[in-house]
Every structure is written in structure tokens, then in C-alpha cells.
Amino acid sequence: MSLNDKEWLIEVFENRSAFALRYRTKLFDEVSQFQNVQIFQTEFMGRALILDGCYMLTERDAAIYHEMLVHPAMSALPAPSHVLVIGGGDGGAVTQIVKYPKVRSVTLCEIDRMVVDACREFLPQIAAGLDDPRVQVLFEDGAAFVKAHAGEFDLILVDSTDPVGPAKTLFETSFYQSVKAALRDGGAAVFQTESPVFMSEVFLEAVGKLAGVFGDSRVYPYFATVPCYPGGLWSFTLCSDQVDPIKGPCSELSPALEQTLEYYTEEIRRAAFAAPAFVRRALSRQ
């Protein structure tokens, strides 16, 4: 069967592979100061958010990414009350964070207002947490913002796009240093660190830089499968001077929270930190 762009949303990765979904309707298509923002209604995976031709999320698998970005760190931290999300204009990470009554404030720092506005209109379930009264939405450069807010946050989540365009600075050592400085004592940061299969060089470089900033023994990569992302297998890296998400105590999910989740469980959390053999070998050679 042939594919054509009149019926299919095709993301080509480095001219070597592609992921495609058949779509019914284009719901939104505008160019912001930073990127082309599009939302489509697909036949199989619900609505899809596309930035500059790359899948950011689909309704069918967004919960995997957002739940895995947020909940491992929230369960490892004893009492996170002030949370910062850099990027994440779709609101999915914020929607997960505000499920915790112990959180007192959430700051979303997103550079592109158009992403937030479009997702609020066309992906309201994913963006629902943005309306929580504890949430402040700022349209600023995340790297500059975090540099100016030392020692203010218990948890920082870096929900960035790939390291191109405005997100490139979010993969630099200076940014990682600013994130560490913005944490309170005992705090933690989580970074999306790309695919260890299709983007192994970016993954290894990011983990290596984070180890240089936080220390080799304070960096914890973990993994989940997100179908719409290149390579499927995706990585996150949790960093903390004091919190150990593998050996340290982790709070159990409350029954009320557990009922809202689609992917994350206690068993998933424990398994996620078990790196595949090829990843362990690659990291050991760094």
C-alpha cells in the first residue's frame, strides 16, 4: 500500500525510517514565531499534535509519556510542593502533577504561546491541568527562566522537544547546571533524553553531561515505550543529589490517584529503571 500526504501524517526520521498515521481532518495549522503547530484527527490514535513535522503526542499514547515523566520522581520525593515544568506546552505533564494534593504550586515555562492555546482548544483532556488554580503559565525561554530562580523548586521536569531550534539549549551543560542550582535541597530533576535506539548519540551525550553536573552515581536513566516516537523505546533521566529512585523509599500510589492512570503502576516504576543490555554496555563505555 502506498502512502501519500493527503491521507497520512508521515514523520520521516533522518531519511532512513518513518512513522505514519492515517488522518481524517486537519484541526489546526499555523506557524508561530518558533515553529509550525498542527493538530490532526487521526483514525487510530485520536488527535495528534505535530510540531515542525514531528509527532509530539497522540491521544492514544500521551499518557505513557506524561505519566512516566512525572510519577517516578513524584513517588521518590518525600514532599514536593513547588514544581517547575520547562516546555510541555501541551499541558500533559502539568495535568499529572496537579493530581497530587501535596503540590502547592506548579510553574509551566513554555516558550510558544501558540502550543498552549491550541492544546487547550483541541486537546482539552490532556491540557486540563492548566486550569488548576495552583498553576502559573509563563511564556518565556526556559533556559533563561531557570537560571534566574536558584533554589526555588523541589522538582523540575524538562519536557523538551528534540535538540533542535529553540530546544537546543535545553541539552547543554550550562542549562543542566542551572537546573541543578534551581533545585532545593533534596530536590530532583527529570529530563526527557531521547531514544537510546534511534538517537543513541544524543541519549549518551545527555546522560554523560548530566553525570558531569550531578555526579555519576546520582543520575538514573529509565525507559518506556511510546509508539509515536522514533524508535519506540524512549528514555528519561532522573537526577538528584539525595533521592535514589531505585534503592530509596518511594511512596505508594493512593487509590484515588491510581484510578486516574492509564500506564504507570508501582511495578512499571521498578521495571523502568532496568536498562536494556545494550544501554548498560553503552553507558559503561562512557
CATH number, domain containing residue 32: 2.30.140.10
Model confidence band, residue 163 (pLDDT cutoffs 50, 70, 90):
confident
> What is the 3-state secondary structure of the chain?
CCCCCCCEEEEEECCCEEEEEEEEEEEEEEECCCCEEEEEEECCCCEEEEECCEEEEECCCHHHHHHHHHHHHHHHCCCCCEEEEEECCCCHHHHHHCCCCCCCEEEEECCCHHHHHHHHHHCCCCCHHHHCCCEEEECCCHHHHHHCCCCCEEEEEEECCCCCHHHHHHHCHHHHHHHHHHEEEEEEEEEECCCCCCCHHHHHHHHHHHHHHHCHHHEEEEEEECCCCCCCEEEEEEECCCCCCCCCCCCCCCHHHHCCCCCCCHHHHHHHCCCCHHHHHHHHCC
- Sequence-distant (6+) residues with CB within 8 A of 31 are 37
The answer to whether residues 72 and 84 belong to one domain is: yes
Give the number of domains in the chain. 2
Residue 157 covered by a domain: yes
The answer to whether residues 115 and 15 belong to one domain is: no
The CATH number for 233's domain is: 3.40.50.150
Residue 1 covered by a domain: no
Residue 2 covered by a domain: no
Residue 20 covered by a domain: yes
**Which of 26, 43, 58 marks a domain boundary?**
58
For 5-56, what is each residue's pLDDT tens digit?
679 999 999 998 999 999 999 999 999 999 999 999 999 999 999 999 999 9
Task: Give this prediction's pTM.
Answer: 0.96
Q: Is 159 a catalytic residue?
A: yes
Residue 224 near residue 251 (C-beta atoms within 8 A): no
The answer to whether residues 53 and 136 belong to one domain is: no
Q: Residue 168: its pLDDT value, please?
A: 81
Question: In which domain, by residue range, is 201 found?
Answer: 62-284
pLDDT > 90: what percent of the chain? Answer: 91
For 203-242, what is each residue's pLDDT tens digit?
999 999 999 999 999 999 999 999 999 999 999 999 999 9
Residue 3 covered by a domain: no
The answer to whether residues 161 and 47 belong to one domain is: no
The answer to whether residues 39 and 68 belong to one domain is: no
Does 4 score more than 70 pLDDT? no
Q: Residue 162: its pLDDT value, please?
A: 75
Residue 16 covered by a domain: yes
Active-site residue (options: 61, 112, 154, 159): 159
The answer to whether residues 117 and 198 belong to one domain is: yes
The answer to whether residues 67 and 98 belong to one domain is: yes
The answer to whether residues 185 and 205 belong to one domain is: yes
The answer to whether residues 107 and 235 belong to one domain is: yes
The answer to whether residues 82 and 159 belong to one domain is: yes
The answer to whether residues 115 and 70 belong to one domain is: yes
Model confidence band, residue 3 (pLDDT cutoffs 50, 70, 90):
low
Model confidence band, residue 267 (pLDDT cutoffs 50, 70, 90):
very high
The answer to whether residues 47 and 119 belong to one domain is: no
